[in-house]
Amino acid sequence: MYKKKPFLIIFEGVEGCGKSYQSQKLKKNLIKKGIDLTLTREPGGTRSAESIRRLILKDYFNKGKKDKFDKYTDTLLYLAARNEHVKNKIKPALKKKRVVICDRFVDSTLAYQVYGKKINRRFIDHIHKFILQGIKPNITFVLKVSPSASKLRLKKRRTNNRYDNFPQSFYTKAQKAFLNIAKNKKNYFVLDSSLNNSNLEKKIFEIVCKYLKIK
């Protein structure tokens, strides 16, 4: 029997893996079961965090390298957005014993900033201690996608964001990082999302129902 409790579900993966789509599907399926939940995303999720998100995206499209943020400035902006998000949205929702579904979280910072941009891991971990204050995901879904499926989905997008136009080698490297992060962790589920069909939606829902003891 379902007992109301705080529960944090994260979707991770490279662009075009279907995170946002599966997050929405899970939300609909849980609402049908009468579950109180909050669906959110990173970077963003609150008005202030979304303002920082726009600043980060705008910087990416600056043509000159001299005009771009240093990689540590860029990382600090992501962490600033997370601080606003955790403090003003995730924490209050968890205090109310809601289920929180988040499209990207800490692992994206590790995959892109630490593995990708070679930002010092201890630098990020130190700041996270203050930001997260013990908050950890209960379940993390890492959606693994084939290069062809990812590329096709990105082409169909009406608007492109910061990471949609990177070379395939970047996505391959980032996906490898996500898989390394998930390795040998019991509450991580690596699922193939190349088809992104109803079978994947069903599997995700079944896993969540098991953890939440929903019948």
Q: What pLDDT does 194 receive?
A: 86
Cross-strand partners of 103: 11, 41
Confidence of residue 180 (pLDDT cuts 50, 70, 90): very high
Q: pLDDT tens digits for 100-114? A: 999 999 999 999 999
Q: What pLDDT does 1 receive?
A: 66
Report the 3 state secondary structure along 25-51: HHHHHHHHCCCCEEEEECCCCCHHHHH
What structural domains does the chain harbor?
Answer: 7-212 (3.40.50.300)
Q: What is the pTM of this model?
A: 0.90
Task: Answer yes or no: are the C-beta atoms of 29 and 162 closer than 8 Å.
Answer: no
Q: pLDDT tens digits for 142-163? A: 999 987 666 665 666 555 555 5
> What mean pLDDT do residues 199-204 have?
96
Pick the more confident residue, 203 or 56.
203
